[in-house]
Every structure is written in structure tokens, then in C-alpha cells.
């Protein structure tokens, strides 16, 4: 490891300040590793390094708070970070590479520009085709032909009205001048604030390991999907939390995505529309320390899962909310994914090819970066709760992370890349899903584990109960 000045930027300090952390602590983090990874026109590696740095620092801080000891030494390696940010691409399941995007997900020519669609899930595919008047059997050729005669903005509106996912590709000026881009620009990177009535500090659970992991004995209800939220809860599981993911029985999930982000966690199916399912959830909530949600704003409120309602029933709870576009502005209720946020916020234009074809970041960095920020927010909230009591609410959005990348972090021409073999940051684990080759966690400090305690199990196969 080294402390080269190239690592001493303001990105981690800015994120740490947004989390309410003690000033100056990011300067104590040691950095090193190969140079020039995740190359792009935008400072993707700076974003990735900063988000992992504050997550590792927040974990070390909570460990110190729970043991009464000194802050453990924190080290961040660029190779580990870059490999983890590409975890879904490095994953192999019995030697098979997972599918990342479905045939109808991607960039498409329209009559006046470009459109980005997301149709990885069957219900989103069906809604996209229905909005365009295409049959369920339509493939990429039929979709391309239909979109070639349509306006990008009008198609975006029509697909969203039908419950599908499509975004007109905008440059940074178009996004910033629009109402949602302007709303995002007025917001901080994230918020972490008190929630509900004050409560006394909660006594931490008895240590479950030696040395004590910072989240040992803590219980986390994980109501997230795809990448960003599951990356956050996967990190909390690494640090000792009992993480129970809850999904609705009728909502499909990608087996490949679960194989990547299910490490360390358990997974159960629970029907919150049923009386029995609601009763089981209330029992789980009565012992939970953290609830993490990743659905579009307001989607879970009818189940009593709005932050204020959770804090009323479980005083002292930490609630962390993640969305694509934020819970404000005209897009506040929209669904979204990393790829769509890249398309809308000008990233796809900035990273475009020489012929003007929209481009992408070298990793789904908005997802992964927001995931580590989300985990950091939970860990910081737990530290503050141990000191002063009270519930906490953390709110994050992919669009706000995108603003950090595009508008805040300084850009510079990529330097020469060091030779780097990601195999040194990969491991093989055998479990219920088969033989998995996977990325190791990038979050590291003195006493932290090098790998998860358990591989992913079958999605939805666990009993909805705490260990």
C-alpha cells in the first residue's frame, strides 16, 4: 500500500461530510493499488474509490464505537475496488457467465435522437411492447423499426405511462435545464437525519464474534432489488449483520443477480397483501435494527413502510431509502435503473463513441457507488444512534450520485494504466447455487473479514424469521 498524493482528493471528504462524519478522518485512510483502472472520460475511479473509502471508514468507526477502542486502520486498494464494481461481470456460475442485459434493453435510434430501454424483467418487457403497440413476440428488429419512426421524448412518456422503462438520451445541458435535473442539482449527495421522536441510546447486542465485527448481532430487513440496494445489504452482511431479504411472491427476480449480491444474506418470500404476511413482517420489524428499501418512492407506503410509520412502530429504527431519481420533482415516483440514469443525465452522451452512438461507464458505477454510500449511511446512523439514541433516516438516489460524478468531481485526462489481473481479487465458493467465482469485498479495515461468511442460497427459500 502507499499514500501517493493522487489519492488525496476531496471526493471521499465530501461524501464523509454528507454523512455527518468527523472532519479529517478520511485523511487517515491508506490508499494504493494499480493505477488507471475503470478508465472513462468521467472520473469513475475517483467515485468508486471515494464511496468504498467512506463505507470502510464508517464500518471501522462503528467497530470502535462498539468496542470502546481506537479507530481500526482503514486501507482501500484500487484493484479491489475496480473488481468489486464489476462484480456482476466477473461472476461465473458453474463456469457460466451471467446475462447482464436482455435483448430489448439498450440504445435505439428514434426519429429525433436516441432512446434507452430497460426490459430485463418480463413485466417490464411486456409493458414496453404494449406501450408501443407491438405483439408480445416482438424481438429487437421489430422494436428498432417501431422506434425509428417515433420521437424519443414522446416514447419516454408513453412507456412510463404504461409502467415500462424508457428514457430519452439527453446531454448534460438538456438534463440540467429540465425540471428533474434542476431538482437534483438543488439537493445534496445524500441526507442522513433524525426520524421521529427521540429515544434513549440503544444497548448494542452482545458481541457475536471475536474480534467484534461492527454490525454483529444487528438485524437488517432488506427490501431491495437488482444492484445498488443489494450491494449495500451485502456489505452489511459482510460486517456481521443478520440480513434477511424480503420479496413479494409474484415479483420475478434474476437468479444471476441474486447469485452476485446474495452473499452473506438470507432470502424469504412474504406476501404483505395477506394478513398472515403482514403479521409475520410486524414480528420481524419488532426486533429489527435497520430497514433498507429500494423501491420507487411511495410504493411501499400502503404496507405501513413509510419511514415515519416504521419509526412509530419500532422506535430507534434506522431506515435507509434508495431510489433512481429521488423522492422529489416530476420524476420522483418513477422507476429507474443505473443504465437509464446514465442516459438521462448526460453520461451516455459524454461517454459516446466517435460516431455519436451513446456510450456507457466502464461499470454500473451509479449502482455500486450508491450501494456503498447506502451501507456507509446505515453504519454511520448506527454509530450516532449508539451515542445519542433516536431513529435515523438516510435517503439516497442514483441521480444524486450521478451529479457527484458529472458536476462535482474534477475531470482529468486518464493516465497510463498499470497492469492488473483481477483474478487476485476473485474467489471461488460452492453453495446451493453451484460453484461461484465472485469478486471479493473491497471494504477493508483492521479486523474486517476478507470474505462473506456464507454463499447465496436459493432465492426466497429461507424462513422469514431471525436467526
- Catalytic one of 78, 222, 367, 462: 367
Give alpha helix (H) positions in 346-466: 347-350, 365-388, 398-403
Of the candidates 28, 84, 52, the residue with the CA atom closest to the CA atom of residue 451: 84
Decide if 242 is catalytic.
no
Count of other CB atoms within 10 angstroms of residue 196: 21
C-alpha 180/C-alpha 332 separation (Å) is 8
- Which residues are bridge partners to 321 per DSSP? 293, 395
Crossing angle of helices 365-388 and 44-67, rounded to 10°:
20
Cell output for 350: 459524454
C-alpha 225/C-alpha 341 separation (Å) is 16
Compute the chain's Rg from CA coordinates. 21
CB 454 within 8 A of CB 258: no
Distances (CA, A) of 172 to 108, 193, 344, 349, 443: 19, 30, 8, 8, 32
C-alpha 347/C-alpha 96 separation (Å) is 30
Catalytic residue positions, numbered: 367
Amino acid at each position: 500500500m502507499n499514500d501517493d498524493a493522487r489519492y488525496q482528493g476531496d471526493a471521499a471528504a465530501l461524501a464523509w461530510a454528507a454523512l455527518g462524519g468527523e472532519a479529517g478522518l478520511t485523511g487517515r485512510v491508506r490508499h494504493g493499488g494499480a493505477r488507471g483502472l475503470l478508465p472513462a472520460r468521467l472520473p469513475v475511479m475517483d467515485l468508486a474509490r471515494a464511496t468504498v473509502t467512506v463505507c470502510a471508514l464508517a464500518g471501522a468507526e462503528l467497530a470502535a464505537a462498539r468496542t470502546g477502542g481506537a479507530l481500526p486502520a482503514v486501507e482501500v486498494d484500487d484493484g479491489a475496488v475496480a473488481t468489486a464494481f464489476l462484480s456482476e461481470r466477473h461472476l461465473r456460475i458453474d463456469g457460466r457467465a451471467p446475462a447482464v442485459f436482455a435483448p430489448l434493453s439498450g440504445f435505439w435510434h428514434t426519429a429525433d435522437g436516441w432512446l434507452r430501454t430497460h426490459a430485463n424483467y418480463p413485466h417490464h418487457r411486456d409493458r414496453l411492447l404494449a406501450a408501443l403497440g407491438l405483439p408480445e413476440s416482438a424481438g429487437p428488429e421489430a422494436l428498432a423499426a417501431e422506434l425509428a419512426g417515433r420521437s424519443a421524448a414522446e416514447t419516454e412518456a408513453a412507456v412510463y405511462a404504461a409502467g415500462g422503462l424508457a428514457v430519452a438520451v439527453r446531454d448534460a445541458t438538456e438534463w440540467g435545464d429540465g425540471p428533474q435535473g434542476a431538482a437534483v442539482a438543488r439537493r445534496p449527495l445524500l441526507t442522513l437525519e433524525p426520524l421521529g421522536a427521540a429515544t434513549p441510546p440503544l444497548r448494542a447486542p452482545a458481541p457475536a464474534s471475536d474480534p467484534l465485527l461492527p454490525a454483529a448481532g444487528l438485524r437488517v430487513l432488506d427490501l431491495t432489488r437488482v444492484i445498488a440496494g443489494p450491494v449495500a445489504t451485502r456489505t452489511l452482511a459482510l460486517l456481521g449483520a443478520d440480513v434477511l431479504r424480503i420479496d413479494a411472491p409474484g415479483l420475478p427476480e434474476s437468479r444471476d443477480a441474486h447469485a452476485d449480491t446474495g452473499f452473506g444474506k438470507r432470502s424469504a418470500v412474504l406476501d404483505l397483501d395477506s394478513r398472515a404476511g403482514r403479521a409475520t413482517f410486524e414480528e420481524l420489524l419488532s426486533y429489527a435494527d435497520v430497514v433498507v428499501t429500494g423501491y420507487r418512492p411511495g410504493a411501499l407506503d400502503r404496507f405501513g413502510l413509510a419511514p415515519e410509520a416504521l419509526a412509530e412502530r419500532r422506535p430507534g429504527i434506522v431506515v435507509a431509502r434508495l431510489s433512481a431519481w429521488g423522492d422529489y420533482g416530476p420524476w420522483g415516483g418513477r422507476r429507474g435503473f443505473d443504465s437509464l440514469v446514465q442516459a438521462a443525465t448526460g453520461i451516455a452522451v459524454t461517454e459516446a463513441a466517435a460516431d455519436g452512438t451513446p456510450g456507457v461507464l466502464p461499470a454500473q458505477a451509479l449502482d455500486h457507488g450508491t450501494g456503498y454510500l447506502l451501507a456507509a449511511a446505515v453504519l454511520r446512523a448506527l454509530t450516532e444512534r449508539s451515542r445519542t439514541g433516536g431513529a435515523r433516516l438516510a435517503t439516497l438516489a442514483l441521480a444524486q450520485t450521478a451529479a457527484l460524478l458529472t458536476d462535482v468531481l474534477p475531470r482529468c485526462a486518464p493516465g497510463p494504466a498499470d497492469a492488473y489481473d483481477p483474478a487476485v481479487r476473485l474467489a471461488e465458493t460452492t453453495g446451493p447455487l453451484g460453484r461461484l467465482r465472485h469478486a471479493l469485498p473491497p471494504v477493508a479495515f483492521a479486523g474486517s473479514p476478507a470474505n462473506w461468511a456464507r454463499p447465496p442460497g436459493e432465492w426466497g427459500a429461507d424462513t422469514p424469521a431471525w436467526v
